[in-house]
Chain A
Amino acid sequence: MTAVLPSRRLLLKAAGISCTAALLPLSACATSSPAQQKGVTQLRFMQNKPEVVAYFNQVIKDFEALNPDIHVVQDFNEGNFVPSLVRNDPPDVVTRGFAQATADFTRKGVFADLSDLPSAATIDPKVQALVNSWGQYKGETSAIPFSLAGAGVIYNRDIFAQNGVAVPTTWDEFLAACEIFGAAGITPIYGTFKDTWTLQQGAFDYVTGGTVDVEDFFARLYAEGADIREDAPESFSSNFGPALPKILQLTAFTQTGASSKNYADGNAAFGRGQAAMYLQGPWALSELVKANKNIQLGTFPLPATNNPADTKARVNVDMALSITRNTPNRAAAERFVNYLLEPSVVNTFNEKNAAFSPLMNAPAVGNPQISGLAAYVAEGRYYQGAGTYFPPSVPLGNYIQSFVYNRNAGQFLRDLDAEWRRVAERTAV
């Protein structure tokens, strides 16, 4: 009996030691680095659109054939970017959508200056200005636009033709078109209010972008800092009031039960022809075609006033190329960025993805799905959505959803002003 005891103790000891041993690999893997082939520079390329992985795989293959000394690894999980910054090990080349969230990286000097790149000179200055409008680090060019997405009202060309409705050019014409569809028993606009972002990028951004000078408004608001009062001339209360009833007019033309439909529901329903119009950007087009390959789609910018000259398209820099400042592979990264901005690469990409090329000499857009926006984009008659100017810590989509459900404009404006002031207070200190 007693002979068993030492062996048990041994067992316990062994268990303890194996536990400690299990810890060792954890510390060991932190120091090991991927084996590198001699003479080949490895670039990490993080792009922000999981749906275009295949395109970039092809681009990388072509690039590597021309540049055998560089090996590019594609990563499409944008969520890794902030953690990689925290670890101080960011990817070498990054694409990001440019808005408030990215502006903060720029202002903190995360990206290198690209103004000397030869490809930087081929970019349309109007589009470059969109990127720069989010703030610059010591006047540098932190990102070069790669893809410009134009958004408006997606419409079903067949339903428009069957009801004899032309593309509206004024707010009254737009309302009249909605009435015609409603009288014909067709849902004028398909609403997906369950996903708050669809309300934000659709009804909210389109109406405010068409009635308020969004860029100027936010420039003055940011300049004001935390000392913003509700009755100040820079506040939301003083500027957004006239736009809000139009948002409610618009959302009143959606189907009953819009509040329990999400983006995926909307794509399926609109694809099946259950509504005449859909307030979505070009990213929805491929989904709609997936739902119904025979659907004839077009896009027009929402006319938010009765003066057609006021009508503008909503654009966003969907992808902009940056090189991280601390990369040890700066030269290789620059060669890769220059390659990506060659007309054959950048124009093909935008043609395939229903977007607009940022190059000065970009060919005319022939895609009928977005051709209704082409003239506006070419003339620079566009705005970046008001929603994109908000710091991500403001739950704007939820506030808009509340407003659409409760129809309380005063409360909505007071909430926005108060939330803005609180965020400004704590981020300015």
Chain B
Amino acid sequence: MNFRAVRAIYLFEMARTWRTLLQSIVSPVVSTSLYFVVFGAAIGSRIAEVEGVSYGTFIVPGLVMLSVLTQSIANASFGIYFPKFVGTIYELLSAPVSYFEIVLGYVGAAATKSIILGLIILATAALFVPLHIMHPWWMLTFLVLTAVTFSLFGFIIGIWADGFEKLQMIPMLVVTPLTFLGGSFYSVNMLPEGWRTITLLNPVVYLISGFRWSFYEIADVSIGLSVGMTLGFLVVCMVLVWWIFKTGYRLKN
């Protein structure tokens, strides 16, 4: 195991985070605060409690997940796409590092960044609404699991993308809609029967539901199912990454 290489990649990626602090941390915090103002204060004041929790409080886990998902994908996809784009990937490919080490460095850094971000957003939320976390360990577990899974997913997108357009396409056209429709701002139980069934096909529902359960013990689906679905997606991403490196897909011509 080339720990020095993992460390070098990890620190390199984290340095990029600190260098682009405004874009990396400040802008997600600002946009999340806007959600609080719009959904929590303006709209939320007209919605009664959701399953015993005030609306503003109810949406906190969903908002954190929304940021963690999108930021994990954005960070990891950009992290590996950029060396491909400017050509510095040559060094990574010619270095005595295993694929596992490369993934560990990039995905580790992207996940670290979104976990930090998630916690910052949580702290920001605490300024707006009273927060209560019933299962902090479960909350952290979901946070880490989601950050890692979607950083892996972002890594895959970054390797697949051969232009900036593709890099944006999946997050914009797939992930954001799935997150918005995944119960960030409402309980799935509030939907009519037909829509509820359709919604259950959305993997993000399980993430948000599980995460919300760790806060308030309110869940759309059982906690076991949430953990299972998250782990399932993690495995799918791992298999894809394994296949990418095995075949050299979009890395080695």
Specify whether A and B are partners. no
Residue numbers of A with Cβ under 8 A of B are: none
